[in-house]
Structure 1
């Protein structure tokens, strides 16, 4: 049984007098009836970085097509430089991360 070392100490006689079997069962049921799982996407929507006001910000990224010295991994579907090519399986290119 876990012990809460920060809680005030009680005598054994007090503990026996206070905690009946029904009270212990009720405490256990109350502890098990909490919130099960929170939706992570809901929590992420409400999360704000401290000191960051990005409401008026707009991010723009220039997307380039796949270059001649790059390949798309057939496992993770990421575009890698040719130096990251580990092997070719049946005409399918595989990066070093996926081959390991």
Structure 2
């Protein structure tokens, strides 16, 4: 039996085809009041017992190697084996290409 998926279906839930009252022309917009507590504000997150005030963090940055490329979609440095396509827009990794 062939089914016409483009044909209008009868609503099985028993709802009506009327628009929502909020969407009708000339309907007054409803406003919502937000109940915010002072405790809802964001505060800095600190790990218990972790005092990093005297610490100095150092990071060594390694430049892109000859066998690596930077994907022009996700901007991650990938190994050449992950190269899916390289064109006018630049190299694209396998994850971003599809």
TM-score by length of 1: 0.52
Secondary structure, counterpart of 1:86 in structure 2: strand
Find the counterpart in structure 1 of residue 66 from structure 2: 68
Query: More helix by proportion, 1 or 2?
Result: 1
Instruction: Give how far 1:91 is off.
Output: 5.5
Q: 1:81 aligns with which of 66, 79, 91?
A: 79
Distance across 2 between alignment mates of 1:67 and 1:54: 33
Given the two structures, how large is their TM-score scaled by the length of structure 2?
Answer: 0.53
CA distance in 2, matches of 1:55, 1:62: 21
Q: Superposed, which structure 2 residues align to 1:2-41 within 5 Å?
A: 32-35=33-36
Query: C-alpha distance in 2, partners of 1:51/1:97?
Result: 40
Choose the corresponding residue for 2:90, options 89, 92, 99.
92
Distance 1:47 1:57 in 2: 17
Kindly tell me the number of residue pairs found equivalent between the two proteins.
64
Coordinate RMSD, CA, aligned: 2.6
Answer yes or no: is 1:59 the counterpart of 2:60.
no
| Segments ≥4 residues shifted beyond 6 Å | none
Tell whether the 8 Å contact from 2:72 to 2:89 is kept in structure 1 after alignment.
no
